[in-house]
Structure 1
């Protein structure tokens, strides 16, 4: 077994999207090869309705898939194919934009006005860029949750883990998408396929991720749950951790526990031509998409 080194730790950056939704972007619109097959990851989390209610009005997508995971509040969605729906707390939506779709996503807060969710963009390989658009909405109760003896909780959203299979399938990036909660001080090792790119995103509490360059078994310099751990190595709220190659990661929760997403996928290794919500392989394909948006032929008839 080989431990994946931590090659970068960085905080998600505040930005604004849609009609004025305030969110934090962990990655996106820089180097698309960095976390291939993933292109973008946004954390939209607000407690003031004025920061999210204007939502994401009608906009196009082509050449990608999106996975939206809601933790608090709801998201109403509709599209150019006539689909409508509502995502509630714990629900997931997978959308394959394929050849092209127009859609909107309008967030609503819970009873306390809170709204929290994530959106991940996965690239489509060239052979599937122009596939027919489709949706899959998954309710929270359909997502398996595993509770280990030490109190570790894992929601398996996509992929296989500890004998359970997530309900979202058929995604080109073939990802594993896990929502992991660790009690205070618990140290855990998770397997990841060697050939996948991987990242973690901490959004509650804090955690230390072991690095291959450091002595095994020592994550903190303070005793937490009987383990010596280095508080300086703790990654807190809204922190992205990128991993190098290997087949496992080791993580230890800080004094207040930790909750993070652990996401991995098989790289596509193809050229990327990207403009806003449209991701193709060549500049010519990108220009064609923009021309079709202008002349009204962007949405393809169903076969």
Structure 2
């Protein structure tokens, strides 16, 4: 596979003192339509016990996927859901959402999950909010004969050897967003043809991947790296002896100027100022 750029996730803190690893690019938008990937991974509840108390968003979509542990989600729309291991959740904030995400401390098993921010095109940023989750449903998946399992979280996916198509349960993501979780056994291999997408990003959360760099030499990607792939080239994922777990983030570029301020992502500073004013005046509503 052709890797055009690579980025390392950095330690960060958000919410009420939650420790995360973050990779983001709001300025150059090289992940377009994706803006940010936050990974929360810890067996120490002090790293996440504070959770994410009520806070607003406008102009983005948040996509949450949990591998271990869980959160309880609440929002001003009346949605109250426990999002646990294997569950995914999508919230298209549009003109405004207030939500909270508080950890479920049930089995002292720790927490491992992701929140991904997807940009919204200007024409949709002020439409009403939308919400979906997969709680209580099995995530559709396919496997191949070379040690790969692909779980379709959103969008349609298949392996290049045509093992059949699988559709994610979450639909309607901005910019034709498609997200999958791929696990590879030791030395496992998966080949995908994703030329229908303008953007393909890969976030490696476990193990190692072997690939060729721009000079044709063999390179190794490790957990905590985001790779931008050439979607028009064949994508061959090969794990090292450690195996690998990764997220594939595909979609169509929005290619619009944005202004980012905290939880708001709009197209102009005037729109950011309006978002702040609307929130301060209580126009986003409140969680009952």
TM-score after normalising by structure 2? 0.91
Task: Report how far residue 202 of structure 1 moved.
Answer: 1.1
2:123 paired residue among 111, 124, 127: 127
Aligned length: 280
Counterpart residue number, 1:24: 21
* 2:79 pairs with 1:93: no
Task: Report how far residue 194 of structure 1 moved.
Answer: 5.2
Counterpart residue number, 2:46: 50
Structure 1 runs of 4+ off > 4 angstroms?
Answer: none
CA 1:176–1:156 in 2, change beyond 3 Å: closer, same or farther?
same
- The answer to whether the 8 A contact 1:159-1:166 is kept is yes
Counterpart residue number, 2:203: 201
CA 1:33–1:10 in 2, change beyond 3 Å: closer, same or farther?
closer
Q: Distance in 1 between matches of 2:239 and 2:153?
A: 21
Write the mapping of 1:61-76 to structure 2, written as runs, cut at 5 A.
61-76=57-72
Structure of larger gyration radius = 1
Q: Distance in 2 between matches of 1:173 and 1:299?
A: 27
Write the mapping of 1:1-303 to structure 2, written as runs, cut at 5 A.
3=1, 5-28=2-25, 30-109=26-105, 111-139=107-135, 141-162=137-158, 163-193=165-195, 195-211=197-213, 213-214=215-216, 219=218, 233-299=219-285
Counterpart residue number, 1:228: none
- The answer to whether the 8 A contact 1:7-1:243 is kept is yes
Please say which of residues 186-195 and 77-86 is displaced more in the overlay. 186-195
Task: Report how far residue 247 of structure 1 moved.
Answer: 3.6
- The answer to whether the 8 A contact 1:66-1:120 is kept is yes
Task: Report how far residue 264 of structure 1 moved.
Answer: 1.1
Structure 1 runs not aligned, ≥5 long: 220-232
CA 1:196–1:257 in 2, change beyond 3 Å: closer, same or farther?
same
- The answer to whether the 8 A contact 1:210-1:250 is kept is no
Task: Report how far residue 97 of structure 1 moved.
Answer: 0.6
- The answer to whether the 8 A contact 2:66-2:86 is kept is yes
CA 1:161–1:75 in 2, change beyond 3 Å: closer, same or farther?
same
Task: Report how far residue 201 of structure 1 moved.
Answer: 1.1
Task: Report how far residue 245 of structure 1 moved.
Answer: 5.0
Please say which of residues 48-57 and 175-184 is displaced more in the overlay. 175-184
Structure 2 runs not aligned, ≥5 long: 159-164
CA 1:246–1:212 in 2, change beyond 3 Å: closer, same or farther?
farther
TM-score after normalising by structure 1? 0.87
Counterpart residue number, 1:223: none
- The answer to whether the 8 A contact 2:147-2:189 is kept is no
- The answer to whether the 8 A contact 2:144-2:190 is kept is no
Q: Distance in 2 between matches of 1:191 and 1:73?
A: 33
Q: Distance in 2 between matches of 1:136 and 1:172?
A: 13
SS in 1 for 2:190: strand
